[in-house]
Amino acid sequence: MTETSPQPERTKRVYAQGVPEKPFELRITLIDGLLLGVTLAFLAAAIIDAVSRFGGSNPYLVVRAVHFQLSRYGLIAAAVMGAAALILGVVRKDDVTPWFRRGAYIVFGSMLLQAILGFTLLLGFGVQPGQPEHIVYGLATTACLPFFIFVETTAKKRPAMGSYIWAFVLLLGVVVRAIGTGPAA
């Protein structure tokens, strides 16, 4: 006769999938605040650096420099969020956490800002990228995360962290390719 000893229960948070958080709820956790703070600090540093190097009298050079710096930020953010998705989804076998979802929104916002600056360079200043495919890759950076956010928020019966793993790996590849086709040689 073997006795089964009670296994200690593993406390695991369960997050409601498919149920979006209340819109316009102003709740920022420590991790959200750090990501948002780093994003805003990076953006401020890029703008201050561009203005100090080129002077505020040449808006084209400032917009171009900030667009360039945001591409590097997108590369780093995609790598960090992809690693966080792998750790949460594969190592911890956890699902999408609210802070991770809000982090994805912050990264999407920075990619959207970069695309707006790119189109400002294209349409406002008439500057063509180094290769025409850069425009397609720029659009892909803004379309990548919303698609996977939609997949995640509509997942009712399956873990959705896999969609973010794919999203940030894809975003990483698209950003690398966009950087390679961007500046004129």
Q: Is residue 109 part of a domain?
A: yes
What is the extent of the structural domain holding 109? Answer: 30-181
Q: What is the DSSP letter of 18?
A: T
pTM, full prediction: 0.78
* pLDDT, tens digit (0-9, with 9 covering 90-100), for 43-100: 999 999 999 988 777 899 999 999 999 999 989 999 999 999 999 888 888 878 778 8
Burial of 8 (0-12, 13-18, 19+ CB in 10 A): exposed
Residue 130 is assigned to a structural domain of this protein: yes
| 13 falls within a domain | no
Collect contacts of 42-46 with beta carbons under 8 A, ≥24 apart.
42/69, 42/73, 43/70, 43/73, 43/110, 43/113, 46/70, 46/73
Is residue 25 in a domain? no
| Residue 164 domain-assigned (yes or no) | yes
Q: Do residues 20 and 155 touch, judged by C-beta distance below 8 A?
A: no
Instruction: Give the pLDDT of residue 12.
Output: 46
Percentage of residues in the chain having pLDDT higher than 90: 32
What is the model's pLDDT at position 79?
A: 93
In a domain, 78, yes or no: yes
Q: Which amino acid makes up residue 165?
A: I
Predicted confidence (pLDDT) per residue in 140-172, tens digit: 888 888 888 888 877 777 667 888 888 999 999
DSSP 47-95: HHHHHHHH-TT-HHHHHHHHHHHHHHHHHHHHHHHHHHHHIIIIIS---
64 located within any domain = yes
Where does the chain show beta strands of DSSP type E?
A: none
- Report yes or no: 132 and 110 within 8 Å, Cβ to Cβ: no
Q: How many residues appear in the chain?
A: 185
96 within domain boundaries: yes
Domain total of the chain: 1
Give pLDDT, residue 10: 46
